[in-house]
């Protein structure tokens, strides 16, 4: 049990460091290097830019952290698997409640909204472009790797959940898996 707890903590420390520090720092550096060359900025009104950034930041963090907690409590595992190597123990139960009721990938949704908030705060078209590329890459990765794995591990239960729940953008649940949750 101690080894699993250590792996779970390690997964969240590594993931949190990359999510909250490394990638935002990269967006900052890219925006400072390339935005002056591009000369296009997102929102000229500082108060509006700050408001959009704060609202987006809160939505993104709420989805990211809420999904991590639910995944740990209900799924009995963590979110971090890199190149097929589990840094934290893989989830053991299919999670279809909490934020997973509205999107199959609430952690990714929250992450992308958080990075959108960073790009808006930086007023950076370059950072926004990077966020869009990141989102497209991650959605493709989820489609090609995570979804087939979940179908293998959870079969019809996941297939029904996939039919009734949006892949990325949170929408009201269409019925089916997890209706009582």
Tens of pLDDT along 6-16?
A: 766 777 788 78
State the pLDDT at residue 85.
54
Q: Which residue has the higher pLDDT, 41 or 174?
A: 41
Report the range of poorest mean pLDDT among 39-43, 114-118, 123-127, 177-181: 177-181
CA geometry: angle 49, 55, 56, nearest 5 deg: 85
Asked if CATH classification 3.40.50.300 holds for the domain at 2-164, the reply, yes or no, is: no
Supply the pLDDT for residue 81: 58
Q: So what's the pLDDT on residue 86? A: 58
Measured between its terminal Cα atoms, the distance across the chain in Å is 28
The model's pLDDT over 48-96, given as tens digits with 9 standing for 90+, comes to 999 999 999 999 999 999 998 898 888 877 665 554 555 566 778 899 9
The pLDDT value recorded for residue 84 is 55
pTM, rounded to two decimals: 0.85
Where do the domains of the chain lie?
A: 2-164
Whether the per-residue pLDDT at 33 is higher than 70: the answer is: yes
Is the confidence at residue 178, as pLDDT, over 50?
A: no
Provide the pLDDT for residue 14: 80
Q: Which of 8-22, 75-89, 108-122, 156-170 has the lowest mean pLDDT?
A: 75-89
């Amino acid at each position: 049990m101690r080894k699993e707890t250590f792996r779970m903590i390690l997964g969240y420390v590594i993931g949190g460091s990359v999510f909250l520090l490394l990638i935002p720092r990269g967006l900052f550096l890219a925006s400072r290097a390339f935005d002056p060359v591009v000369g296009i900025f997102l929102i000229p009104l500082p108060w509006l830019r700050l408001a959009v950034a704060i609202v987006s930041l809160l939505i993104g963090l709420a989805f990211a952290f809420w999904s991590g907690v639910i995944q740990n409590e209900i799924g009995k595992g963590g979110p971090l698997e890199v190149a097929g190597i589990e840094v934290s123990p893989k989830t053991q139960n299919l999670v279809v409640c909490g934020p997973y009721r509205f999107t199959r990938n609430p952690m990714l949704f929250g992450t992308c909204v958080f990075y959108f908030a960073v790009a808006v705060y930086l007023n950076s078209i370059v950072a926004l472009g990077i966020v869009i590329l990141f989102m497209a890459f991650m959605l493709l990765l989820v489609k090609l790797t995570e979804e087939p794995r979940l179908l293998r591990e959870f079969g019809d239960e996941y297939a029904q959940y996939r039919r009734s729940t949006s892949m990325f953008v949170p929408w009201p649940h269409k019925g089916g898996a997890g209706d009582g949750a």
